[in-house]
Structure 1
Amino acid sequence: MQYKVVPFPSSKNINQTLQSIIDSEAVDGWNYVNHQYSHYLMPGSAGCFGIGARPDSIWHVGNVVFQKP
């Protein structure tokens, strides 16, 4: 059995994006197994005396898992 992990990009319409990924992989015989979509807070930096300071940001990480018998 083979497995494949495909990136799940950030999107405003997650349902449509996931459906599109599943449909495109199904054409090649890959079966959907599971997906994960998480948001992580990446802390900013105060910089040196404020120079190079960065605000906190949110990092989006998504993966879709497929298998092929």
Structure 2
Amino acid sequence: MQYKVIPFPQSKNINNQLQSIIDEHAVDGWVYLNHNYSHYLLPGSAGCFGFGAKPDTVWHIGNVVFQKE
């Protein structure tokens, strides 16, 4: 049995994006198993007296898992 994990990019319409990925890989015999989409907060920094300060940012990580026998 083979497994494949592909990135799941951030999108405004996640449902259609996921369906497109599933359809694209199903043609080659890959069966959708699961997906994971997480958000992580990367803290910014205060800088030195405010100079060079960076705001907090959100990091989006997504994966789609397929299997093939």
The TM-score normalised by the length of structure 1 is 0.94
Across the aligned residues of Structure 1 and Structure 2, the Cα RMSD in angstroms comes to 0.8
The answer for the alignment partner of 2:10 in structure 1 is: 10
**After TM superposition, which residue ranges in structure 1, 4 or more long, deviate above 3 angstroms?**
none
Aligned length: 69
Partner of 2:20: 20
Deviations along 1:30-50, whole A, 9 cap, x unmatched?
Answer: 100000011111100112222
User: Which sits farther off after the overlay, 41-50 or 16-25?
Assistant: 41-50
Question: Which residue of structure 2 lines up, in the alignment, with residue 44 of structure 1?
Answer: 44
CA distance in 2 between counterparts of 1:57 and 1:5 reads 25
Partner of 1:66: 66
CA distance in 2, matches of 1:2, 1:27: 16
Q: Structure 2: where are the runs of 5+ without partners? A: none
In 1: Cα distance, 2:57 partner to 2:18 partner: 24
> Percent identity, aligned pairs only?
77
| TM-score, length-scaled by structure 2 | 0.94
Unaligned runs of 5+ in 1: none
